[in-house]
Amino acid sequence: MKSVVIGASGYTGAELLRILAFHPEIEVESAAAASHAGQAISGLYSSLLPFYSDAVFADVNTQVEEIASGGISVDVVFLALPHGMSQSIVPKIFDRVGLVVDLAADFRLTNPATYQKWYMHKHQAPEYIEKAVYGLPELTREELKGARLIAAAGCYVTCSTLALLPLVSAGLIERDSIVIDAASGVSGAGRSIKADYLFTEVDENFSVYGLKHHRHTPEIEQNLGATVLFTPHLLPINRGILATTYSRPTSRFVERLGADAEDSGHEFVISEMRNFYIEEPFVFVTDSPPSVKASLGSNNAMVHGTYDARTNTIITVSALDNLVKGASGQAVQCANIALGLPETAGLASLGLHP
């Protein structure tokens, strides 16, 4: 199958090129970029030289028009663009390709009014929201089969949702009690030049941002059917996300746990998580809290949970690579499902260490 990556000069676009280079069924027909159009791919990312030695970035607008006019025939288009740009592209190419996978937030939220509230502008293609399938396989696998437009879940949202989904689904967590503290590497901000992401600002530093109003909050709430207090932080590392969540147990939790909560609470939480993810190819429940290096370079998400009887609090921890399971690997995993390919095709299941 032939694919086009639009927005290929950014970090998620480059990660798509890296992953698809090893995909047994999907090959890259073209890679398009805006500011880097005409430049050699390997000139921008020397790590991609072995597979893209002669390839150059096509112009985004030209590539979109070629697809829209039928001048180029492809099976899959991956949109690795900043939030807001896909709304003007999807209507042009939707009827020309078998599958569009959008890595941005443009079609993730099911309510256009919610999108406008959190992203501060009116949605330009609301009629395509209902055509889109949310791209988090652990949550929407069945809906992804045969999908034509996929809104792949983002990094913070994936990390947070996977940490909480087993317990929320089982009715073990009070849905209005959830607090999420998450920290991401600098690549999560994209390949833009901003003062906050300069080496001298990030190195040996740790900061909070988006306090009380980060725009991924409604997406997490949509996934969990809950109210969450989500606070993101910037880590002085290249890639990776670690999320720690705190929540109150429900009466069902107490009833199922019985009188020995203090002694068996940890084992109960871990057991619930293991049972929920037992058949998932990329989610692993760990015996101790994971670190970001546990999933580095892979499409894996590592999750852990426990119960603190002293404060009557359920704690969960999750870690993933924000550029793989949090973005490009997620997109490929979703595409595999939609196209009827093996779900794990082209995706690494072992991380890098050190």
Q: Please, are residues 91 and 203 in contact by the beta-carbon 8 Å criterion?
A: no
Max Cα–Cα distance, the chain, nearest Å: 68
Closest CA to 321 of 244, 216, 243, 239: 239
**DSSP-assigned states of every residue in 102-169:** E-SSTTT-S-HHHHHHHHSS--S-GGGTTTEEEE-HHHHHHHHTT-SEEEE--HHHHHHHHHHHHHHH
For β-strands 283-285 and 301-308, DSSP reports them as parallel
Cβ pair 347, 332 in contact under 8 A: yes
Tokens of 99: 């599958």
Helix (H) or strand (E) holding 313: strand 313-320
Sheet with 99-102, edge to edge strand ranges: 58-59, 27-33, 2-6, 76-79, 99-102, 149-152, 132-135
Q: Name the pairing type of β-strands 58-59 and 76-79.
A: unpaired
To the query of whether residue 159 is one of the catalytic residues in this protein, the response is no
333: left (phi over 0), alpha (psi -120 to 50) or beta: alpha
The active-site residue out of 155, 159, 182, 235 is: 155
Write out the two tokens for 353. 């260490």
58 exposed, middle or buried (CB, 10 Å; 0-12, 13-18, 19+)?
Answer: buried
Nearest to 185 by CA among 166, 168, 207: 207
| Distance from C-alpha of 126 to C-alpha of 132, rounded to nearest angstrom | 10
d(CA 252, CA 254): 5
For residue 74, give every residue at least 6 positions away whose Cβ sits within 8 Å of its Cβ, in sequence order, or none: 2, 3, 4, 29, 30, 67, 97
Q: What is the residue type of 114?
A: T
Q: Which residues are catalytic?
A: 155
